Amino acid sequence: MSAKILVLNCGSSSIKYQLFAMPEGTVLARGLVERIGEERGCHKHWDSGGDTSAQLQVRDHRAGLEMIVKRLTTSQAGTAALKDLSDIAAVGHRVVHGGETFTGSVLITPEVVRTLEVHADLAPLHNPPNLAGIAAAKEFIPHAPQVGCFDTAFHMTLPEVAYQYALPRELYEKYHVRRYGFHGTSHRYVARRAAELLGKHKYAVNVITCHLGNGCSMAAVKEGKSVDTSMGLTPLEGLVMGTRCGDIDPAIIFYLAEKPEYKALKTLNSLLNKQSGLLGISGLSNDVRTLLQAAAKGHLRAALALDIFAYRIRKYIGAYAAVLPKLHAVVFTGGIGENAALLRAKAVAGLEHNLGIKLDAALNNVVSGAGRPEADIATADSSARILVIPTNEEKAIAADAYEIAVAQGHTD
């Protein structure tokens, strides 16, 4: 049974969306509403009639979704992705934080909404707009069941030794302080694709997945299940990222808090989340493309930022190889992982000596996200494959929404 599934990703000031025909996985329309709440917003849309872009004020997420549903049923070229909103069989939502409650995607009910509201303090920048998107979808597409897909759900299989911090137990019991991990939908998608490419059952594969974009995280996947991941209570922990610091000595925060310019907690929070990472090290940019160009021209801090970025990935590969049985593959995904050949090479440099993981330089140099969407860039005698797999979180969400809301008979 074919059905149209709308996938929504509501960020703090944006809404990304795609309309799929499922289970085929065909994209019928996609777009982005950005700068929500600012004086001048933007709505970009693509469907079979082509690309359009409009500059306009978008008051809030409700107004943004209202624009989206209107655009899906109209077209300047005389065609539209939808004849009527009643054609939407279900709505799938990316939800950042499900706490420990949700171990997989679920049909959104009033009880689920109440639970997400409870977890809002764990993701104050993300869960509120996710909830706003759910409320708006219920208003404008009331007939369609909604499905929540959680960034944290894939990592709910972490054992206690991996998710517990060495803090007083009551902080976990009272305030739910633990490692949650994020990018779970992406890690799950590429781990499943890796299993398919390797000819293995999804629960018979051991891989290390590297989601590298402006936000970066890694996961150790044992027999198809996440058993460790680099992000923690929040997305700040772990790898060096575009503007996030990743792993640091926590005492640095207390040291800086005694300095006049960093006494305010908001200032420290901004420092660690928005002014650090590649941007902070390079003093130039958080964009890897800019840093690669600058490093090639002799910009020393840009080169150092890229080296630190790759070094941290290599350390995590070593750590995760130590907690997995026979490693089948290291998987690179995300904008950087799919396109930055030099950083892939730097990230696995030297692993041939101790782990037997060997990169084929020639294959690596010709692979890009657009040119060869999926590729094995390891040498024939490598102990584990090195895979480049473009992530598709939206398709994974659409598949979950189709399965839960349509295949299981929850549509009206």
Do 216 and 346 reside in the same domain of the chain? yes
Dihedral (C-alpha) 248, 235, 128, 10: value to the nearest 10 degrees?
140
Average pLDDT over residues 158-164: 98
Q: What is the pLDDT of residue 368?
A: 62
Q: List helix spans (H) across 164-299.
A: 169-175, 184-197, 251-257, 265-274, 277-282, 288-296
In a domain, 157, yes or no: no
Q: What is the pLDDT of residue 72?
A: 95
Do 141 and 242 reside in the same domain of the chain? no
My answer on whether omega of the bond before 23 falls inside 30° of 0, hence cis, is yes
Do 283 and 359 reside in the same domain of the chain? yes
Q: What is the pLDDT of residue 301?
A: 98
Q: What is the pLDDT of residue 410?
A: 62
Amino acid at 10: C
Q: What is the DSSP string of 116-141?
A: HHHGGGGSTTTHHHHHHHHHHHHHHS
SS3 (DSSP) at 302: helix
In a domain, 334, yes or no: yes
In a domain, 277, yes or no: yes
In a domain, 24, yes or no: yes
Rounded distance between C-alpha atoms, residue 365 and residue 368, angstroms: 8
| Number of domains comprising the chain | 2
pTM recorded for the entire structure: 0.93
Rounded distance between C-alpha atoms, residue 105 and residue 169, angstroms: 29
Do 100 and 220 reside in the same domain of the chain? no
Confidence of residue 185 (pLDDT cuts 50, 70, 90): very high
Poorest-pLDDT segment among 29-38, 302-311, 339-348, 364-373:
364-373
Average pLDDT over residues 196-220: 97
Do 129 and 219 reside in the same domain of the chain? no
Do 204 and 141 reside in the same domain of the chain? no
In a domain, 166, yes or no: no
Rounded distance between C-alpha atoms, residue 93 and residue 101, angstroms: 17
Q: What is the pLDDT of residue 125?
A: 76
User: Is the distance from CB of 73 to CB of 82 less than 8 angstroms?
Assistant: yes
Rounded distance between C-alpha atoms, residue 78 and residue 86, angstroms: 19
Q: What is the pLDDT of residue 367?
A: 82
Q: What is the DSSP string of 63-91?
A: HHHHHHHHHHT--TTS--S-S-GGGEEEE
Do 94 and 205 reside in the same domain of the chain? no
Do 335 and 224 reside in the same domain of the chain? yes
Dihedral (C-alpha) 342, 388, 283, 305: value to the nearest 10 degrees?
-60
Q: What is the pLDDT of residue 411?
A: 57
Q: What is the pLDDT of residue 407?
A: 81
- What pLDDT, in 10s, does the model give residues 395-407? 999 999 999 999 8
In a domain, 271, yes or no: yes
The range of the structural domain enclosing residue 280 comes to 200-393
- What pLDDT, in 10s, does the model give residues 302-340? 999 999 999 999 999 999 999 999 999 999 999 999 999
Do 146 and 277 reside in the same domain of the chain? no
In a domain, 180, yes or no: no
Residue 372 has pLDDT above 70, yes or no: no
In a domain, 73, yes or no: yes
Supply 131's token pair.
């909830």
Q: What is the pLDDT of residue 76?
A: 63
Confidence of residue 79 (pLDDT cuts 50, 70, 90): confident
Do 240 and 336 reside in the same domain of the chain? yes
Residue 370 has pLDDT above 60, yes or no: no
CATH number of the structural domain spanning residue 290: 3.30.420.40
Residue 369 has pLDDT above 60, yes or no: no
Do 336 and 220 reside in the same domain of the chain? yes
Average pLDDT over residues 379-401: 97
Active site residues: 151
Do 9 and 130 reside in the same domain of the chain? yes
Rounded distance between C-alpha atoms, residue 19 and residue 358, angstroms: 40
Residue 206 has pLDDT above 70, yes or no: yes
